[in-house]
Structure 1
Amino acid sequence: MSFGPPPSIFTQSTVSADLQRKKRRRTLLGGVAAVLVVVLAAGGWLLWDRDPAPSNKPLAAAAQSRLDVRESVETPPKSTTGAMAFRFSEDEMAPGEQVAMPGTWATDEILAKGINRSLVGLRIGTDASPGDEVWKLQLSGPICGYTRHVTVENRTAVLFRSSTGEDAHCDHVAFVDLDDGRKIWEHGFTSGKWDTTSVTLTHATVAVTRDDGSEAYDMDEGRRLWRTEGSGDCEDRGVAGGRALLVLVACEQKGKPATSWESTAYQVRKTDPRTGKTMWTYQVASGVRDVQVPSTDPAVLAVAAGDTGYTELLSLDGKGKNRATIRLQGGQYVGECNDDALDYGVIDDCPTIPVGGGQVFLRSKEHDDAKRPSNWIVGFDLATGNTVKKFDSGPNELLYPMQMSGDQLLALRESGDRISPMALVGLDPKTGEETPYFYFGLPLEAEVFTLRDSYDILVQDGRLFFAAKQASGPAKGKQWIWLALGIESAARGSMSATR
């Protein structure tokens, strides 16, 4: 496959980017930012260097065993200049073609991606297209479940269908090494009649739910540890992992229309991952449309009790009792869970609701000043629900919480004028200080990467990654499609391989 230059800014994707910007209410301003701009490539890639390098004081990290779910701690780089670290794009998609790309995982050398019925590993530091994979793991059918979690040894799990047939069930689980694409083990299981499945990781354990029960497997040996069956009118709807294992249970309420969300009542069970024993059960109040799990330990639930969006967060204690309720004040505060992931049974992917240091972080809704959009991030105390620390974006910029890094909060600082740079920053919940990791600009074709409903955004090993959840061909003709992009500090090095 040929691989030419990056897309021109004068392509059809310009129209798409403009529509997306209007949708997000961005306004272009004519001011010139006081920054140093270095143009590297024909595609308009920008390096930004605005501040002196921060101190490289390492953040504290709890010791982890090789079978724990990875909790990475990032260190501010020596240079705040951002550079392209990786690109994955395609120019041979047919008009109207759609390809599912569920799951994005990163190691220090590999960006791994689910693509329909395969997992592929792409070398970071390259400008890649389909066919340039370091490894490719073909599955018997399409991926139908995944988890965002990765072990300390860079392993994860996916669910997949038994074949490519339309009636094929989601009834296989595989545990995979992301460094080399090796399948550690694979198991088939019996899926329920509704094919409601979910997979996650917690210490030494891969857990799977089916609508007629749940089961778990040992990470090393692949042997089944336990299996439970559904009871009565209740079904296991999903599993959330990380530091602990929570199972979401949906029960049908008698006397309610079966087609209405009001007919469903939710429970959340904390489960011993090695035995399957229920440790506690939390009964969610009736009238809730949806429940997601931003964190399992401490346990934090996001519930949707209104017509749209999440309305409150519930903080639970070690016995499953409600510690505090954090109300999102009619949309004044915003937290998203990955709605696209619900098609794959993921209930614990809430990328803008990080939890750590006894707090949960939310951003305010955007203040839609036509000339100076802004917002802020607030930390809420999990014990009381009270606000603790506020981080203002400043005028003409927006802050988006991303993930915890030890006791620090990583956030994406977006520019509202496409002139001043974007930035990956660290926010200290104790002091209120902000530390820049690196500044960068995005080519016009890549600006849509910040749309969280269409792209995965994650930080790993000093790099910021954007990756599509689905690849869509052009409306007509031939066009470059950007599928993934990685950014790192220029002090670390930039993309080494080109075509």
Structure 2
Amino acid sequence: MTQPPPPPPQQPPQGGGFGPPQDQPPQDQPPQSPPPAGGPNLNKAPEPGYGYPQTPPAAPQTPPAAPQTPPAAPAGPPQPGYGYPQGAPQPPQPGYGYPGQQPGPYGQPGYGQPPTVPYGQPGYGQQPGYGQPGYGQPGYGYPQGAMPQQPQAGQPGGGGKFNAQVAIIVAAVVAIALIIGGGVWYAKSGDGDGKKDDTASSSGGTGGSDDGKGGASGGEEKAPADPGAKVLFQVPAPEVKNDSTVVVSGSWLTDKAYVKSGIAKIVGYDRDKGTELWTVPLPGPVCQASRHVTDDNKTAILYQPAMPTKAKPSQGCSQIALIDLDGGKKLWTKTVDTGGDPISFNNVTISGQTVAVGSTSGGAAFDTSGKLLWSPKTSDSCYDAGYGGGERLVAVRKCGSYGARQLHIQTIDPKSGKVVSEYKMAEDIEYASVVSTDPLVVAADVGDSAGDGSGISDFFSIDNKTGKLRTRIAAPGEQFAARCEGITRIEYCTGIAVGADRLYLPTEEHDGTGKYSQTNEIVAFDLTTGKQTGQRADAGDGYTISPLRMDGGNVIAYKRPPYDKGGQVVSIDGGSFKQTKLLENPATEQVRDVETRMSPDYSEYLYADGHLFMSRVYASKRSTSGDEEYLAVGFGTS
């Protein structure tokens, strides 16, 4: 990847704490009341801050060797625990309630974005198996060889790798070609049925299908008279002792509340004032959170049954809960077992009134009343590793042993679990991510050819009704900046949007027109033909742009700012690709510093109705710099 100027000095989490330490009681929670609305001094004149050009961007560095023994946590992703076949190279599984995460933007871990697996989590002290993508290692797979050739539909994608010196030159050439050739990305047209757009209210940063809001010609988000935003409130970072790293994944936005996971709790905040509306305490930390919600604002989470201790650093992600985001209540908690201990799950999603969970031991589902719909069968030779939710329910079913795996992409009936259609992927594909369930789009790193740790070399557009492949789209890692975590989380991709039968992707950063400046574009692919549409949305010099979600037929995107500007949210017209500014953050140094410590790739972003929320997915020991650190920050227009 092209490296921009370095971010401001940050202290990454040190060591490998076991999560909430033994001397930290479960009730050790973040402050109950955020600072007064308004946040940092918005009247302070802009000063050079993050990304201020000092020197030309440095060439990619060789990733550091991962430590082999404690106490430092390894750079590699966590390894599987319960239920994974023994004796074969193993894909990673969630660590302390959550799968391994890439380091912070541009390889520099920021607060709450640890590059390592905390002590005691599954995978601590273990290295990725041979041939695994090694997701989460800084700089992993920087192009080393020849530039991948774009395959024809149905042919394996990818190609060789570059050496580090040639990569920068090639990236510039690729950028020029993209500018001439148009864009890449895919989207689905709205069907006009007025269904709830749950991608707008679920945890952000990921691509998602349009659920029908606004139709193909437009969306519901309208430009305000003045897009200038102010800081509404900040949620202080929770106090984490020792060298622990705690999962705080999960955020949602309703008509009244911004909801965010904390340390072993979920809190609803007034979305304008930041005052706490309600709190749902949990006995252990959150592991995973559904990105979808029901029509009546219910969502699902996985969490541990107790706080980890030094003696038992992981309690397993066995607890499945349904949360009422309006009432601020935990409606029920369920577990699933197959004659032994409760299964530890690593994927949770919602489709319609069905809550589905997946694992290396198989999948299970409940309806929103708590009734069990199906559970793993010990006689099965295959297992549901995870599910994609939203408009439809799609299972990623794994068959065969590691190294000879075949993935079955199944559209299933969410009430009965009956298979409606099935597409069998080639046997050289070990992992896949569900990008969208309607239209069905799956991402995979075919033969580990992406070369950048993104988890994507190709997208597969599949017909939900017949299970037939519509088209295959090559998306070489050195050209496009989207990411998926199909190794550990079936339904977690960032920088992708799907709507109006288009796939929308951001290009990698390349040189802008200013000295040392970087920029990129969003481009579109047709999901029927697999070809680029010729549409392109430029970020603007010094900005980098990333899709957040669909809004009817339009794309909602975030623009990460240059050193002297505030970030922006724009709506990109699905037809003309004309950009409309919906929100622009203050350009003061203090606000920019808070904003640029998060990024769409490694944080959760939500935008709706003139409100933008950014939040961490990890909390860790605070840095010694003395800078104020936040779990979440909200911006809003007047």
Using the TM superposition, give the Cα deviation of residue 334 of structure 1 relative to its aligned residue in structure 2, in angstroms.
2.4
The separation in 1 between residues aligned to 2:196 and 2:238, in whole angstroms, is: 39
Equivalent residue of 2:545, what SS? strand
1:448 alignment partner AA: T
What residue in structure 1 maps to residue 393 of structure 2?
A: 245
Name which of structure 1's ranges 442-451 and 97-106 shifts more when overlaid on structure 2: 442-451
Name which of structure 1's ranges 81-90 and 70-79 shifts more when overlaid on structure 2: 70-79
What residue in structure 1 maps to residue 417 of structure 2?
A: 276
Using the TM superposition, give the Cα deviation of residue 315 of structure 1 relative to its aligned residue in structure 2, in angstroms.
0.5
2:263 alignment partner AA: N
The separation in 2 between residues aligned to 1:247 and 1:281, in whole angstroms, is: 9
1:379 alignment partner AA: A
The separation in 1 between residues aligned to 2:602 and 2:409, in whole angstroms, is: 28
Using the TM superposition, give the Cα deviation of residue 478 of structure 1 relative to its aligned residue in structure 2, in angstroms.
5.4
Q: Does the 8 A contact of 1:67 with 1:153 survive in 2?
A: no
Q: Does the 8 A contact of 2:56 with 2:516 survive in 1?
A: no
Using the TM superposition, give the Cα deviation of residue 19 of structure 1 relative to its aligned residue in structure 2, in angstroms.
11
What residue in structure 1 maps to residue 578 of structure 2?
A: 433
2:418 alignment partner AA: K
Q: 2:521 matched to 1:376?
A: yes
Q: Does the 8 A contact of 1:99 with 1:115 survive in 2?
A: no
Residues 78/304 of structure 1: CA separation in 2 closer, same or farther (3 Å cut): same
What residue in structure 2 maps to residue 362 of structure 1?
A: 505
Using the TM superposition, give the Cα deviation of residue 173 of structure 1 relative to its aligned residue in structure 2, in angstroms.
1.3
The separation in 1 between residues aligned to 2:300 and 2:545, in whole angstroms, is: 32
Name the count of aligned residue pairs: 437
Q: Deviations over 1:398-442 (max 9, x none)?
A: 2211110111001112332x2234211100121121111122236
Using the TM superposition, give the Cα deviation of residue 218 of structure 1 relative to its aligned residue in structure 2, in angstroms.
1.9
Q: 2:284 matched to 1:135?
A: no
Q: Does the 8 A contact of 2:345 with 2:357 survive in 1?
A: no
Residues 427/18 of structure 1: CA separation in 2 closer, same or farther (3 Å cut): closer
Q: Deviations over 1:98-148 (max 9, x none)?
A: 332111111122121222322111222235xxxx63211122332223211
Equivalent residue of 1:332, what SS? coil
- Residue in structure 2 matching 1:395, options 529, 541, 548: 541
What residue in structure 2 maps to residue 350 of structure 1?
A: 493
Equivalent residue of 2:441, what SS? strand
Using the TM superposition, give the Cα deviation of residue 244 of structure 1 relative to its aligned residue in structure 2, in angstroms.
0.5
Residues 311/486 of structure 1: CA separation in 2 closer, same or farther (3 Å cut): same
Using the TM superposition, give the Cα deviation of residue 216 of structure 1 relative to its aligned residue in structure 2, in angstroms.
2.0
Equivalent residue of 1:183, what SS? strand
- Residue in structure 2 matching 1:480, options 610, 623, 628: 628
Equivalent residue of 2:483, what SS? coil
The separation in 1 between residues aligned to 2:470 and 2:525, in whole angstroms, is: 12
2:624 alignment partner AA: K
Q: 2:246 matched to 1:99?
A: yes
Q: Does the 8 A contact of 1:141 with 1:162 survive in 2?
A: yes
Residues 97/141 of structure 1: CA separation in 2 closer, same or farther (3 Å cut): closer
1:209 alignment partner AA: G
**After superposition, where does 1:98-247 map in structure 2 within 5 Å?**
98-127=245-274, 133-164=276-307, 166=312, 168-190=315-337, 195-219=344-368, 221-229=369-377, 231-247=379-395
- Residue in structure 2 matching 1:79, options 223, 226, 236: 226
Residues 24/237 of structure 1: CA separation in 2 closer, same or farther (3 Å cut): farther
Equivalent residue of 2:594, what SS? helix
Q: Does the 8 A contact of 2:233 with 2:633 survive in 1?
A: yes
Q: Does the 8 A contact of 2:237 with 2:619 survive in 1?
A: no
Using the TM superposition, give the Cα deviation of residue 285 of structure 1 relative to its aligned residue in structure 2, in angstroms.
1.4
Residues 394/92 of structure 1: CA separation in 2 closer, same or farther (3 Å cut): closer
Q: Does the 8 A contact of 1:374 with 1:398 survive in 2?
A: yes
Matched-pair identity in %: 27
Q: 2:613 matched to 1:465?
A: yes
Residues 61/410 of structure 1: CA separation in 2 closer, same or farther (3 Å cut): farther
Q: Does the 8 A contact of 2:234 with 2:634 survive in 1?
A: yes
The separation in 2 between residues aligned to 1:200 and 1:414, in whole angstroms, is: 29
Q: Deviations over 1:452-489 (max 9, x none)?
A: 34311121333111001112222338552111111121
What residue in structure 1 maps to residue 443 of structure 2?
A: 302
The separation in 1 between residues aligned to 2:542 and 2:625, in whole angstroms, is: 37
- Residue in structure 2 matching 1:63, options 184, 193, 216: 193
Name which of structure 1's ranges 418-427 and 378-387 shifts more when overlaid on structure 2: 418-427
1:63 alignment partner AA: D
The separation in 1 between residues aligned to 2:617 and 2:53, in whole angstroms, is: 17
TM-score by length of 1: 0.78
What residue in structure 1 maps to residue 569 of structure 2?
A: 424
Using the TM superposition, give the Cα deviation of residue 91 of structure 1 relative to its aligned residue in structure 2, in angstroms.
7.6
**After superposition, where does 1:271-350 map in structure 2 within 5 Å?**
271-305=412-446, 306=448, 307=451, 308-309=453-454, 310-318=456-464, 319-337=466-484, 346-350=489-493
Using the TM superposition, give the Cα deviation of residue 65 of structure 1 relative to its aligned residue in structure 2, in angstroms.
5.8
Q: Which runs of 5+ in 1 are unaligned?
A: 27-58, 491-499
What residue in structure 1 maps to residue 137 of structure 2?
A: none
The separation in 2 between residues aligned to 1:21 and 1:135, in whole angstroms, is: 46
TM-score by length of 2: 0.62
Q: Does the 8 A contact of 2:583 with 2:610 survive in 1?
A: no
The separation in 2 between residues aligned to 1:337 and 1:463, in whole angstroms, is: 26
Using the TM superposition, give the Cα deviation of residue 228 of structure 1 relative to its aligned residue in structure 2, in angstroms.
4.5
The separation in 1 between residues aligned to 2:625 and 2:581, in whole angstroms, is: 41
Greater share of strand: 1
Q: Does the 8 A contact of 2:57 with 2:516 survive in 1?
A: no
Name which of structure 1's ranges 390-399 and 295-304 shifts more when overlaid on structure 2: 390-399
The separation in 2 between residues aligned to 1:222 and 1:200, in whole angstroms, is: 14
What residue in structure 1 maps to residue 157 of structure 2?
A: none
Using the TM superposition, give the Cα deviation of residue 161 of structure 1 relative to its aligned residue in structure 2, in angstroms.
2.5
Name which of structure 1's ranges 351-360 and 163-172 shifts more when overlaid on structure 2: 163-172
Using the TM superposition, give the Cα deviation of residue 386 of structure 1 relative to its aligned residue in structure 2, in angstroms.
0.9
2:322 alignment partner AA: F
The separation in 1 between residues aligned to 2:332 and 2:197, in whole angstroms, is: 15
Residues 62/227 of structure 1: CA separation in 2 closer, same or farther (3 Å cut): farther
Q: Does the 8 A contact of 1:449 with 1:466 survive in 2?
A: no
